[in-house]
């Protein structure tokens, strides 16, 4: 069966033959770089990603390792993408065009660009926008597959949250965040003493190179087995509680450019560098107290009729014929109708995006004209706004998320390794002719 799959997939390498009066000539349009279960990684995909990485490195004045080392990391990423895409298809995970457009809009906003400007920027960098768009869709599917698969493997107990909260309170004066870089020198799951010794030797050599001034990102791309290797090993900003315990004990209070390791973990030897340090910002939370009336369209009740019905209710309120509470109890659908539409005090960011956007435009005591959300048609009455000290709840939520993320990173790497071990993967040597 394995060889039948291989034969079928190899046939997908496209060849075109041009026959002239003098001779027959074959022109290779594309070839299979790797077989991944029932899918393939094409050489054109590898080349496109290599070009993109090199362009970004040039733009950011970032040095890169050899083409051979870079290609290995690129192949790993594309194989993982193929595996996760296939799993996403089996799980029925789909990213709609609307979801994709929203993601691209958010990416444009982060760069302080309009979507049109963002699109032109992609094109100016030599990338097809349509292909870029589909690559974003693949990333979204891969992320959803990973989260769905790994989340089931993680359990955070109430006692773990309580213990971390206690530590966080003791360290409440600690407002420092660290920007970390990470290099993982892997060893096999059933590593022998020779494997362990060889991995430690490689890790020690990496530490020596870093201490001698070698570029951290370049070595990470060349040598790291971590999922962030192609990002130069960048782990982002973390406070002391967000790091794995092994890291936090060694990183705490260390200055910028400190290198620690090799640190032995269940996956290999880790080397961590403090790339930068900054203070933590204090976050205030605004809450709103609002009530709403919800009308859900149906086959019988069209969108237009639902909208007109709500406008009629607003007219009754304006005329003093009824109160918002009375009309909500009589007409609103959903669990809040019995409370006269009362939603209580809440962070507006927790609502449907259309609902959040509507609340942002309202003044205390005002009403919002009928609008559509993913739940149906609404009108809103905004009763009040307030700034609240949500430290206790935020700390509890943060403690849970810290513990979850701490476990997620290691479990995600372990899950992906198991997934790859169970897959049929065959990588073909690059044709240098």
Domain membership flag for residue 261:
yes
Let me know whether 316 and 221 are in one domain. Answer: no
Helix, strand or coil, per DSSP, at residue 18: strand
Whether residue 31 lies inside any domain: the answer is: no
Query: How far apart are alpha carbons 224 and 177 in whole angstroms?
Result: 24
Task: For residue 264, tell me if it sits in a domain.
Answer: yes
Domain of 328, in residue numbers? 285-388
What pTM was estimated for this model as a whole?
0.49
Q: pLDDT below 70 — which residues of the chain?
A: 1-29, 169-175, 280-284, 389-392, 431-433
Q: Which of 217, 247, 279 is the last residue of a domain?
A: 279
**Which secondary structure element, helix H or strand E, spans residue 28, and what is its range?**
strand 24-28
Same domain, 214 and 309: no
359 belongs to a structural domain:
yes
Count of domains in the chain? 2
Neighbours of 174 (CB within 10 A): 14
Looking at the structure, do residues 241 and 296 belong to the same domain, yes or no? no
Among 227, 247, 279, the domain-final residue is 279
Look at residue 56 in the predicted model and tell me its pLDDT. 81
Same-domain check for residues 265 and 307: no
What is the rounded distance in angstroms from the CA atom of residue 260 to the CA atom of residue 204?
Answer: 11
Residue 213's region, left for phi above 0, alpha for psi from -120 to 50, else beta, is left
Based on the domain organization, do 251 and 297 belong to the same domain?
Answer: no
Residue 284: its pLDDT value, please? 66
The phi, psi pair for 426, rounded to 5°, reads -135, 120
Task: State pLDDT tens for residues 211-267.
Answer: 888 899 999 898 888 888 888 888 888 887 788 777 887 887 778 888 988 988 888
**From CA 324, how far away is CA 328, in angstroms rounded?**
6
Instruction: Say if residue 241 is in the same domain as residue 298.
Output: no
**What one-character DSSP code corresponds to residue 297?**
-
Q: Are residues 187 and 265 in the same domain?
A: yes
Say if residue 216 is in the same domain as residue 234.
yes
Q: Residue 256 — φ and ψ, nearest 5°?
A: -60, 145
CA distance to 157, 282, 402, per residue, from 164 (Å): 11, 20, 9
Residues 275 and 312 in one domain: no
334 within a domain of the structure (yes/no): yes
| Domain annotation covers residue 405 | no
Give the pLDDT confidence score for residue 112 in this predicted structure: 87
Give the residue from 279, 299, 322 where a domain finishes: 279
pLDDT of residue 188: 84
The CATH number of residue 312's host domain is 3.10.50.40
Q: So what's the pLDDT on residue 1?
A: 42
Whether 169 is covered by a domain: the verdict is no
Tell me, yes or no, whether 267 and 221 share the same domain.
yes
**Which residue in the block uniquely carries the two structure tokens 């040598």?**
223
- The verdict on 258 and 296 lying in the same domain is no
Query: What is the Cα–Cα distance from 257 to 240, expressed in whole angstroms?
Result: 16
Q: Are 403 and 156 in contact (CB under 8 A)?
A: yes
Whether residues 246 and 228 fall in one domain: yes
Domain-embedded: residue 195: yes
Minimal CA–CA distance to 280: which of 431, 176, 197? 176
d(CA 309, CA 370) in angstroms, rounded, equals: 9
At residue 17, the pLDDT reads 38
């Amino acid at each position: 069966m394995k060889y039948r799959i291989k034969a079928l997939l190899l046939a997908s390498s496209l060849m075109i033959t041009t026959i002239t009066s003098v001779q027959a000539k074959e022109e290779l349009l594309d070839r299979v770089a790797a077989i991944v279960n029932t899918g393939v990684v094409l050489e054109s995909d590898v080349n496109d990603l290599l070009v993109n990485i090199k362009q970004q490195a040039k733009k950011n004045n970032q040095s890169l390792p050899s083409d051979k080392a870079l290609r290995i990391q690129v192949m790993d990423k594309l194989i993982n993408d193929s595996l996760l895409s296939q799993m996403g298809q089996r799980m029925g995970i789909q990213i709609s065009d609307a979801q994709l457009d929203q993601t691209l809009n958010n990416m444009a906003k982060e760069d302080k660009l309009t979507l049109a400007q963002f699109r032109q920027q992609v094109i100016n960098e030599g990338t097809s926008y349509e292909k870029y768009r589909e690559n974003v869709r693949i990333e979204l599917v891969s992320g959803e597959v990973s989260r769905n698969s790994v989340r089931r493997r993680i359990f955070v107990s109430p006692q773990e949250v309580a213990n971390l909260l206690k530590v966080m309170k003791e360290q409440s004066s600690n407002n420092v965040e660290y920007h970390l870089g990470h290099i993982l020198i892997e060893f096999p799951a059933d590593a022998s003493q020779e494997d362990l010794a060889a991995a430690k030797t490689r890790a020690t050599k990496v530490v020596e190179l870093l201490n001698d001034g070698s570029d951290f990102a370049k070595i990470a791309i060349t040598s790291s087995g971590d999922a962030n290797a192609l990002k130069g090993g960048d782990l982002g900003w973390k406070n002391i509680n967000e790091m794995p315990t092994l890291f936090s004990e060694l990183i705490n209070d260390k200055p910028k450019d400190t290198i620690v390791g090799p640190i032995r973990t269940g996956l290999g030897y880790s080397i961590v560098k403090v790339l930068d340090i900054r203070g933590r910002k204090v976050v205030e939370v605004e809450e709103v107290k609002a009530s709403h009336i919800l009308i859900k369209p149906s086959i019988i009740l069209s969108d237009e009729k639902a909208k007109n019905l709500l406008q009629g209710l607003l007219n009754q309120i304006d005329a003093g014929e009824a109160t918002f509470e009375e009309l909500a109890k009589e007409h609103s659908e959903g669990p809040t109708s019995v409370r006269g539409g009362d939603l209580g005090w809440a962070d507006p960011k927790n609502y449907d995006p259309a609902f959040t956007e509507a609340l942002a435009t309202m003044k205390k005591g005002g009403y919002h004209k009928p609008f559509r959300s993913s739940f149906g048609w609404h009108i809103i009455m905004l009763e009040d706004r307030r700034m609240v000290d949500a430290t206790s709840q935020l700390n509890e939520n943060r403690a849970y998320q810290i513990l979850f993320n701490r476990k997620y990173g290691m479990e995600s790497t372990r899950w992906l390794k198991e997934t790859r071990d169970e897959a049929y993967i065959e990588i073909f040597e690059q044709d240098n002719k």
